Amino acid sequence: MPKIRVMCVQPIEVDSEQYEQLISKKSRIGKLIGTFDRNHFKIEWLKQFNALHRDLSNFKCIYRSEESKVSNLLLKQDLQSIDFHVNGLHDISEYLDLENTTYELVFDQRFFNFVLVVEIHLNLPDDKTAELLSTELTADELAENQGADFYNNLRNLLVKEHDTSALSQWGNAVRLEVCKRIQAISHIPLKSSHRPLAYIGNNSGNFTFFVEASPQDKQMKQQFLACNAKAERVKGNNTTIIDNDCVHYAFFSRFHTIMTLDIGRYYRFAPIQHHIQSTWYYVSFYSRVLDKLNSHILANDSKKTLNSKRNVIDEYINKIELLRMNNENFKLAIESDNEDVYQKIESKWNVESSLEHAKTYVSFFKDYLERAYARKAEQSNRRQNQILFIISCIQILGLISIWSDYLGLSKIERFINSTGIHTGSNVDTVLQINTWLPLGLIAVLVLLMMLAYMRRD
């Protein structure tokens, strides 16, 4: 009777505009530090990995107890439905291990990211395994029987392929519950015109089947591998990571199969599967956010917008550097599995090259914003100087007007006559000063304006 742990890793997507608020407001993150330290994971590999590598993983368990989670009885009811019968024929609800089947909402406060990790436990009877893993049915027969193969049947419980795809009641309830909890943690009010803060996108979910059986059982191994290959959309995409008498590790595309009787391999390989999927998603997410931010800047490159986005870019630079450091530290923690397992998977998914690309992109984007902001500031200063020059000209004209008004001929004559100052007075001289001084000031003003125009750059 092979025991199967089906692990599904589903990164939770956060609306990009609201994500900027999450990472830019340090007080919000500060309040969350230490909030979940006393919570403990139920999934075995998460529990052990977090205990051994607390500083490295920095994983936080959101749930304090199983009481707040969606009941597994609802999952059993879903499996009893004909919509989730394997190949449209086999009810596998009786093989579900209710006690050990669970899910965790994993929170990484460094990136303010959430990952839903689901682990479904099944105990398959030996005489039913071959039937459940059968790949003999054609696509038309599968459609006629309203079912899917063993691997895709379990995937359909949790993953929506399209907007119109059906989802199990348990899977839908889990989604709603975890997204509601993220909303409560984030303390960001929802706006009717925006998408929800947290959501799980279509076609999001990577599955690993940990089969407790000996890889020396050639028949059973072939059945699982054939079912895995049949379930994939992209054919011939299998990479054999390890193949010996102790373990067979097959890395496909959406599904992966690990067969071994050594429980220690589960504790070693599950963190790698989770890490590679999460890192791949983080890089993809930051790339999408930066592309959207770039489009926003091109559409509105005002000085105010550029100045506000410079601070946001600094946050993204920090996040990507943290991601690169975390990736390097993780490789040190897994020791020999870095070369034997991680590097083979990484080369297939091109994770490290994507990290370097994201680093280069965000650095270039930062430089571009700095240059654009400098140009805007220079233009603003030039306009400000022109405005000040015009104001100065107006002030000079005002002084000329005042001079002309108060030094008029009639006022000079009245002043001289009223004071009785006649001796040594020369009215013509004062009149000439009154006439030529404003003209001289106007000439100087025109000359200054011509010089300013000729020297404009």
Look-up of token digits 């791949």? 280
Q: Identify the band that residue 420 occupies on the pLDDT scale cut at 50, 70 and 90.
A: low
114 pLDDT more than 70: yes
Alpha carbon distance 120, 102 (integer Å): 7
Query: Mean pLDDT of all residues in the chain?
Result: 82
> What average pLDDT does the segment 86-110 reach?
92
pLDDT tens per residue across span 168-184: 999 999 999 999 998 88
pLDDT for 108: 86
SS3 string, the chain, reads CCEEEEEEEEEEEECHHHHHHHHHCHHHHHHHCCCCCCCCCCCHHHHHHHHHCHHHHCEEECCCCHHHCCCHHHHHHHHHCHHHCECCCECCHHHECCCCCEEEEEEECCCCEEEEEEEEEEECCHHHHHHHCCCCCCHHHHHHCCCECHHHHHHHHHCCCCCCCCCCHHHHHHHHHHHHHHHHHHCCCCCCCCCCCEECCCCCCEEEEEEECCCCCHHHHHHHHHHHHHHCCCCCCCEEEEECCCEEEEECCCEEEEEECCHHHHHHHHHHHHHHHHHHHHHHHHHHHHHHHHHHHHHCCCHHHHHHHHHHHHHHHHHHHHHHHHHHHHHHHCCCHHHHHHHHHHHHHCHHHHHHHHHHHHHHHHHHHHHHHHHHHHHHHHHHHHHHHHHHHHHHHHHHHHHHHHCCHHHHHHHHHHHCCCCCCCHHHHHHHHHHHHHHHHHHHHHHHHHHHHCCC
pLDDT for 410: 54
Q: Identify the band that residue 191 occupies on the pLDDT scale cut at 50, 70 and 90.
A: low
pLDDT tens per residue across span 434-453: 667 667 777 777 777 677 66
Locate the domains of the chain by residue range: 3-260, 271-391, 407-454
> What average pLDDT does the segment 291-317 reach?
75
pLDDT tens per residue across span 274-285: 999 999 998 888
Maximum average pLDDT range among 24-28, 187-191, 360-364: 360-364
21 pLDDT more than 60: yes
> What average pLDDT does the segment 202-206 reach?
91
CB atoms within 10 A of CB 171: 25
Q: Identify the band that residue 220 occupies on the pLDDT scale cut at 50, 70 and 90.
A: very high
Maximum average pLDDT range among 3-12, 194-203, 420-429: 3-12
Q: Identify the band that residue 269 occupies on the pLDDT scale cut at 50, 70 and 90.
A: very high
Q: Identify the band that residue 196 occupies on the pLDDT scale cut at 50, 70 and 90.
A: confident
Q: Which residue has the higher pLDDT, 309 or 204?
A: 204
290 pLDDT more than 60: yes
Measured over the CA atoms of residue 153, residue 158, residue 164 and residue 166, the dihedral's sign is positive
> What average pLDDT does the segment 350-376 reach?
76
- What is the percent of the chain with per-residue pLDDT over 90, rounded to a whole number? 37
pLDDT tens per residue across span 36-94: 888 889 999 999 998 888 766 678 888 877 668 999 999 999 999 999 999 888 999 99
Q: Which residue has the higher pLDDT, 392 or 324?
A: 324
